Chain A
Amino acid sequence: MTGSIAALGAGLAVIGAGIGIGQIGGKAMEGISRQPEAAGKIQTAMIIAAALVEGVALFGVIVALLGNK
């Protein structure tokens, strides 16, 4: 039972990260299409931002793993 609840928690955390990273990716695409010459810089910034968002989601996953057993 706790395992399933932990899995739900992990899933919820991943939803948040998915939305966040989706936003970042989408906006980065917009930015690149608007300014293709800045693609390199935008990509680097995008990866960093995505990594930070993902980090928060992974905290959630880790907490879920902690609660797993």
Chain B
Amino acid sequence: MDFSHILNSKKITLSVVLSIFSLLFTYKAFAVQEQKTQEIAVESKEAEKFDPSATILEHIGDSHYFHVGGHIAFPLPVILYTNKGLEIFSSEQFEEGEKVYQGKYYKYALIKDKIKAVTGEDKTIDESAGLIDFSITKNVASMWMSVLLLFIIFFSVASAYKKREGKAPKGLQSLLEPVILFIRDDVALPNIGYKYQRFMPLLLTVFFFILINNLIGMVPFFPGGSNVTGNIAVTFVLAVITLIVVNVNGNKYYWKHIFAPDVPFWLYPIMWVVELAGIISKPFALMVRLFANIMAGHVIVIALISLIFIFQTLGIAPVSVAFTLFIDVLELLVAFLQAFIFTMLMALFIGSAVEEHHH
């Protein structure tokens, strides 16, 4: 918790370290290259010309397949909303993005992992379809699994509380009780004040939702491997929920502070603009912070692993693995820290909206 400044500086230091040790390994790579290239060339076509940024973008982005490992992947259901109606089929139909699928209303193709309505086999995008993709993507599936996990965990904990009423906590219950009490005593109570009880369910849900998605995202294979909280759509939803909760619960002091602050009246128009920008920018910052932190973690891990393929040598693997391990441990901390900061700032914003006196 107290090392957050280090966590952030890692983004600077890491690039320096990366560049230094990539320099060190460049010349060694040439030496080994010739033996290795043959093996790698056999393995796959892409390995010949490895594009790290494409790999990274593919890994942190969403997908219509759930990769288990190697070339094994689950196809996921595709749900499309078009201006003619709903289309539901399996992503298997695309055959790894090779084929164009003839749906009920339009032809669809997978272009850069995104489903587009096309006019024909040449994959020319048909804009007239008004396509909105409501597919169960990798992120949605992963999110559902973590939600399921949350249900299992907290329903069992709740039943433990019912069963062991008035007794000391035990097992999972005693693991989670300090966390719940931490949210209550160190996050909700000091920031919101005596009205905290109304917001406890929201704060707890947000905290554990972010935490579990952060942690599952760190698992490199199925059922992890997705980048749920590092996807801007997810953090966008959380930020919008914060925005709504804060402004719905804002009392008259909160609104007075925005619309009639203690400044000369001719400054009001400027203040309104500033305050309205503040209302929007607070949740916006929340959204960006969580998204960027988690995404950066994934990017760094994949970048480190990519080094092996960039230099096409196994010699770099130990270094790469060691650094990945280091970053993973750091990300473990970040997973907790970001969940905490999101909840903390949410409580802070709610607190400023329900506070009785502003001055």
Contacts and interface: CB of A to CB of B under 8 A. Distances in A.
A and B touch in the complex (CB under 8 A): yes
A50 B8 CA distance: 9
Contacts of B341: 47-48, 51
Interface in A31-69: 43-44, 46-48, 50-52, 54-59, 61-62
A13 B295 CA distance: 17
Q: How large is the interface on A (under 10, 10 to 19, 20 to 34, 35 or more residues)?
A: 20 to 34
B104 to A, nearest CB: 33
A18 interface: yes
A48 B348 CA distance: 10
B5 A24 contact: yes
A24 B285 CA distance: 19
A17 interface: yes
Given A15-B12, A48-B345, A48-B348, A61 B5 contact: no
A22 B340 CA distance: 20
Nearest to B344: A48
Contact of B289 (A11, A15, A58): A58
Contacts of A48: 341, 344-345, 348
Query: By CB atoms of chain A within 10 A, which of B8, B9, B341 has the most?
Result: B8
B2 interface: yes
B289 A51 contact: yes
A21 interface: yes
Given A18-B12, A46-B2, A47-B340, 16 more contacts: A18-B9, A21-B8, A21-B9, A22-B9, A25-B4, A25-B6, A43-B1, A48-B344, A48-B348, A51-B4, A52-B285, A55-B285, A55-B286, A55-B289, A57-B8, A58-B292
A54 B289 contact: yes
What 4 pairs across the A-B complex have the smallest Cβ distances? A25-B5, A55-B285, A21-B5, A58-B292
A64 to B, nearest CB: 11
B11 interface: yes
A50 B5 contact: yes
Contact of A44 (B9, B186, B286): B186
Contacts of B4: 21, 25, 46-47, 50-51, 54
A33 B12 CA distance: 27
